[in-house]
Amino acid sequence: MMDIHQILKHLPHRYPFLLVDRVLAIDKGKSIRTLKNVTINEPFFVGHFPRRPVMPGVLMLEAMAQSAALLSFASMDVSPDDNTVYYFAGIDGARFKRPVEPGDQLLMDVSLARMKAGIFKFNAAARVGEELACEAELMCTMRTVG
């Protein structure tokens, strides 16, 4: 379990781009379950879409990638520093199954499928209740910059 204060110590993202509110469960080296509370106050709802607000699919993918980053850091027992950046390396098989709207809670389940040569591959799914909203295979990598 991690609350927002612990998440802020592990992810460089900040408002309006921090898309994980809580870690509900984590099994280091295996899987993570996270939560994003979706509120009408999200800045993207102003333009997506004014008459029928829907969370953009790319932001659901980003929320799952942030969850994957938290799993990676926990699995390696490291915390990111100012010289470490966690990047998307690829997205495969992304599917969007239902809209995510204000008031929904997005539950994300991410499992580590493989780690090889600094590339992490994850299976990720986001649900609202029991309904699948989004799924994808995510590839991410950590790089030192500076």
In the chain, where the domains are located: 4-144
**End-to-end C-alpha distance for the chain, whole angstroms:** 32
Confidence of residue 81 (pLDDT cuts 50, 70, 90): confident
Residues 35-59 have pLDDT tens digits of 999 999 999 999 999 999 999 999 9
User: Counting runs of H as helices and runs of E as strands, what totals does the chain give?
Assistant: 2, 6
Cα-only R_g, the chain: 15
pLDDT of 86 higher than 90: no
Average pLDDT for the chain: 94
The superfamily in CATH containing domain 4-144 is: Hotdog Thioesterase (3.10.129.10)
Exposure pattern of 88-122 as b/e (b: 16+ CB <10 Å)?
eeebeebebeeebeeebebbbbbbbeeeeeeebbb
Active site residue 5: no
User: Average pLDDT for residues 15-35, to the nearest whole number?
Assistant: 97
Do 16 and 42 meet the contact criterion of CB atoms below 8 Å apart? yes
